[in-house]
Chains A and B, each alone.
Chain A
């Protein structure tokens, strides 16, 4: 294991990095918690299920898989295997299909993105989930959800997901988009052509299915009523649905992934900077090649200019979708849950006084202290606690990156070769 580079995540960034590392002659172990490769964007369907991916998505993924297949002598893939974390000695805990403590030569973290979802009354009800959660299910099963679906929040993912629901014969009852992305067509024209063709295909599909797309519309609250979910907008419109999928953008899925002094650790793709699929592919390739060069003592290759292009495009996209939704946090009812893990509310946060310290937020308020380590509340707690402060964090998540069963810890085969821990 000492020669092996461990890549966590079998999506675009992870598999393309693994391919470059293997091409340079290094043995690579790729692990993924899911039962199929593809990550979130290219999650592959169950055996026998028909893929709902677009032609462009299929071609991109086929290219990644062909690259990995050409290096299959050096790449080992372990699905259903979770990364627990890395300690200060460079020992990595894997659990699931592979249950081992290993000491790899280097660690590539390509865990993709986490979704940002703005808290709203009712966002903890069963049937309310992230757009990514619903999308992963559609891609895996290729079957429509039972009942009516409402999509709300902000970002291009809502259009993609809406189009996929149409494809499966279950158009969403509406898409509530907080931004006004179609209000400035001239600015939109400056996006790369591939963004345009993708958006046009989604919009055409949604239009043909007569899906209402309400822009500048905020979903204010959701409540359970008569076995269904009733969603109400800030301007008083009501929508009934059985599923509500929420999405307010993506962030790097990098919480609880500390650096390690005794092991090269590299983050790639959305896990490093959330710039979407095109950037994740470029970053995986370039980052994999750069790490291989570093490990082999060779000069590092020049950075890929594609990353800068995608960064500019994503910034343009964010401006098109800009809206004042976060300002509405201050108006949330006091009993709105902010921290989902421990059901801590807006009132619980206010009770800590104005400008609480991180220590107060965590130890007294119990915010960002639950098993998700603040992945879903941290950004909002910081905004509410310290309004106007740019990008503050609410403390230091630590490994294990997720709860690990004692049984897994005890059963893990120690392959760190008896070295000092």
Chain B
């Protein structure tokens, strides 16, 4: 493990080059809160096509499955408070 990202404040280690999605999954985090429809936000296609894994990263909404993990990155659900 080469760095730490934060899921709603909780530290999660990651391997160099991996995505936020794979780092979170290793830590047992498979769902990223809820979409406006009420459905759970989670990885489905894994390659940026389905938009199902939208997450808030340092304030910006993006696909967790494409986003490279970088040290100190703060992640939270797409909607709601950053501390949700």
- Is B52 a contact partner of A340 (Cβ separation < 8 A)? yes
Type the 1/0 row for A372-403, where 1 means its CB is closer than 8 Å to any CB of B: 10011000000000000000000000000011
Q: Nearest Cβ distance between residue A288 and chain B, in whole angstroms?
A: 23
* B39:A343 contact, CB within 8 angstroms: yes
Contact indicator B48/A372 (Cβ below 8 Å): no
Tally of contact residues, A, Cβ under 8 A: 43
Q: Please, which residues of chain B bring their CB within 8 A of the CB of A405?
A: 60-62
Taking CB atoms, residues of chain B closer than 8 Å to A141 are 15, 18, 22
Chain B residues whose CB sits within 8 angstroms of the CB of A371 once the complex forms: 51
Closest approach, in angstroms, between the C-beta of B26 and any C-beta of chain A? 7
Q: Which residues of chain B have C-beta atoms less than 8 A from A341's C-beta?
A: 37, 50-51
A137-B60 contact, Cβ under 8 Å, with A46-B17, A130-B46, A370-B51: no
Given A46-B17, A140-B18, A371-B51 in contact, is the A133-B38 Cβ separation under 8 Å?
no
B49 within 8 A of A: yes
Residue contact B43 to A133, C-beta cutoff 8 Å: yes
Find residues 4-48 in chain A having any chain B CB closer than 8 Å to their own CB.
33-36, 40, 46-47
Interface of A, secondary structure class, is loop
Instruction: Tell me if A1 counts as interface (CB < 8 A to partner B).
Output: no
* Given A127-B42, A372-B49, A376-B45: A343 touches B37 (CB 8 Å cut-off): yes
**Residues on A with beta carbons closer than 8 Å to the beta carbon of B15:** 46, 141
Which of A285-327 touch B at CB < 8 Å? none
Q: Which residue of B lies closest to A242 (CB)?
A: B30
> Quick one: which of A47, A114, A145, A370 contacts B45, CB cutoff 8 A?
A114
Q: Chain A contacts of B61 at CB under 8 A?
A: 405
Decide: B39 and A337 in contact? CB cutoff 8 A.
yes
Q: How far is the CA of A372 from the CA of B47 in the complex (A)?
A: 12
Distance A71 CA – B82 CA, assembled complex (angstroms): 47
Query: A35 to B17, Cβ gap below 8 A?
Result: yes
Judge whether A99 is part of the interface by a CB distance below 8 angstroms: no
Cβ-neighbour of B39 out of A340, A376, A403 (below 8 A): A340
CB pairs A–B below 8 angstroms (16 shown):
A33-B66, A36-B17, A46-B17, A115-B45, A125-B42, A126-B30, A127-B42, A130-B45, A130-B46, A132-B46, A137-B25, A140-B22, A341-B50, A343-B39, A376-B50, A407-B60
Interface residues, chain A, with chain B CB atoms under 8 Å away: 33-36, 40, 46-47, 80, 82, 114-115, 124-130, 132-134, 136-137, 140-141, 143, 145-146, 253, 337, 340-343, 370-372, 375-376, 402-403, 405, 407
